[in-house]
Amino acid sequence: MNFSANVTFVRPTTFFLIGFSNVPHVKYYYAFLSLVYVVTVLGNSFIMLIIYLVRRLHTAKYIAVFHLSLSDLCQSSALIPKVMDIFLFQHQFVSYEACLANMFFVYHFMNLQSLTLLVLAYDRLVAICFPLRYHVIVTKPAMFLIIGVMWIFSVTHFSVLVGLVNRLSFCGSNVLNSYFCDHRPVYRLACNDNSMNILMGRISFGLLICTPLILIIITYFCIALALLKIAHGADRIKAMKTCTSHLMLVAIGYVPLMSNNIASITTYSDQNAGMINASLTQTIPPMLNPIIYTLKTEEVMQSIKELYKRCKVNTIIDYKMKSRSKTTS
């Protein structure tokens, strides 16, 4: 094991990741993850393309949906290809700098997913509770501003989190029992005081996972109160339908994540099973999000049908033009 040291700390040149090394028949799981990644890339790229091409989707709400797809795509791209490279192609030695970069990007884009779900909950709150003022409150400039603030906050927070790793001294093992450069396994290898890293990890969990979930729950409580005031049952059902896709995204994103974290604290579970559960929690929601938005959102489905008809008409026109040009020649 090679180390480079200065006066204050010892830094390993590499970390050795062993996350999936002891999982039986793990190559089948890698094949599954590869399929998940392909579907994630195609699905999220498709949603972004539809929003870009269809003018009626150029609204504040679909700016947030576009951002969610972008975050899903980037988070999966930061995680799955690296997992494939490390374990499938036996590149388990990861340089110190590459490890910290991987930690930053995986956490940053996971956080953007969480915050974007909160933004979409805010959109539904304004649409249902203040329908007459919706287009005044939820505007495109306001949405771009919210997303910009999210990026600044997330980049700053995780720059501090990753930067605090640099004050740790790794004078013992450089073996990480994880499938990516996770924050907790890294700081647990330190042989000097890591209390700041523990505190930062707890703040991150409370601030970036629990707080958005609590705010989303409060948002839907307010939405439920507003729906009870709607006299006509048909109007109430119509308003509820606009929330179903978002509620499904929240359930898929948060329920497994919270369950894994609670299970890791309260019960003993096999390390391999825990690692696979954690990896599925990080990779399945980005794959399902575009599928849910495509199938459960009437506006998107209608836009896809219109785009398909337009492409079909253009193809027929092009064919007729070519046939006429051949006839005249």
Where are the chain's structural domains? 3-296
CB 44 within 8 A of CB 289: yes
Burial of 313 (0-12, 13-18, 19+ CB in 10 A): exposed
pLDDT tens, residue order, the chain (329 aa): 444 444 457 888 999 999 888 888 888 999 999 999 999 999 999 999 999 998 888 999 999 999 999 999 999 999 999 999 988 888 899 999 999 999 999 999 999 999 999 999 999 999 999 988 999 999 999 999 999 999 999 999 999 999 999 989 998 889 998 999 999 999 999 988 899 999 999 999 988 889 999 999 999 999 989 888 876 777 778 778 878 888 998 999 898 888 887 776 666 667 778 888 889 999 999 999 888 877 778 788 888 888 888 777 777 776 667 667 666 65
Neighbours of 69 (CB within 10 A): 25
Residue 236's pLDDT is: 76
Residue 5's pLDDT is: 44
Identity at 211, one-letter amino acid code: T
Residue 7's pLDDT is: 45
The CATH number of domain 3-296 is 1.20.1070.10: yes
Question: E strand or H helix at 236, and its extent?
Answer: helix 233-266
Residue 2's pLDDT is: 46
Question: E strand or H helix at 148, and its extent?
Answer: helix 140-165
Residue 37's pLDDT is: 96
User: DSSP for 71-117?
Assistant: HHHHHHHHHHHHHIIIIITT--EEEHHHHHHHHHHHHHHHHHHHHHH
Residue 71's pLDDT is: 96
Q: What residues form DSSP beta bridges with 176? A: 17
Residue 312's pLDDT is: 74
Q: Distance between alpha carbon 53 and the CA centroid of its chain, in Å?
A: 23
Residue 119's pLDDT is: 96
For 157, how many CA atoms within 13 A lie in the half-sphere containing its CB?
A: 21
